[in-house]
Amino acid sequence: MNVAAKLAAFINQRKGSPFKWGENDCCLFVADWVLFSTGNDVASDFRGKYQSEKGAFKQLFKQGLNNVESVFKDRLNPEISIAYARRGDLALVEFKGEYVGGIVTVNAVVCVGENGLVTLPMGVVKTVYPLEVRNV
């Protein structure tokens, strides 16, 4: 199955899942996509270890990390220019005054919202991390 088909299946599976710390938050949403598409679990040491925002940050601090951006830089492939973003790449997005994780789709980015997935314009993307390493 190619990335586009995998992404469509993943988004369809998750579209109605609301935000929930430790289960379907922005970092685990991105990590779940990486696991689903590549088999690599970039969040294995975080899974099941928190159920709140405070608990999430406690786990980050234990790893020497302090925010979503630090997690992405530590766990994902090196960032690339937004101009080279492809469907399935990971994005650091500004949403409601905070940085959150998302997945690049076609000219948009999908993030976890309160009541399920939300689609935002690429203009809110701060940084892109390729799903698979590539030289651009």
Q: What would the mean pLDDT of 103-122 be, rounded to a whole number?
A: 95
pTM above 0.85, yes or no: yes
Which CATH number is associated with domain 3-129? Answer: 3.90.1720.10
Q: What is the mean pLDDT of the chain?
A: 93
d(C-alpha 136, C-alpha 133), whole Å = 9
How confident is residue 96, by pLDDT bands cut at 50, 70 and 90? confident
The residues spanned by each domain of the chain are 3-129
| Residue 136 clears pLDDT 70, i.e. is over it | no
pLDDT in tens, 18-66: 999 999 999 999 999 999 999 999 999 989 999 999 999 999 899 889 8
Least confident segment among 26-35, 98-107, 112-121, 127-136: 127-136
Provide the token pair at 88: 């399935």
DSSP string, the chain: --HHHHHHHHHHHHTTPPPBTTTBSHHHHHHHHHHHHHS--TTTTTTTS-SSHHHHHHHHHHTT--SHHHHHHHHSPPPB-GGG--TT-EEEEEETTEEEEEEE-SSEEEEEETTEEEEEEGGGEEEEE-SS----
Provide the token pair at 74: 């530590």
Please count the other Cβ atoms lying within 10 Å of the Cβ belonging to residue 98. 10
How confident is residue 101, by pLDDT bands cut at 50, 70 and 90? very high
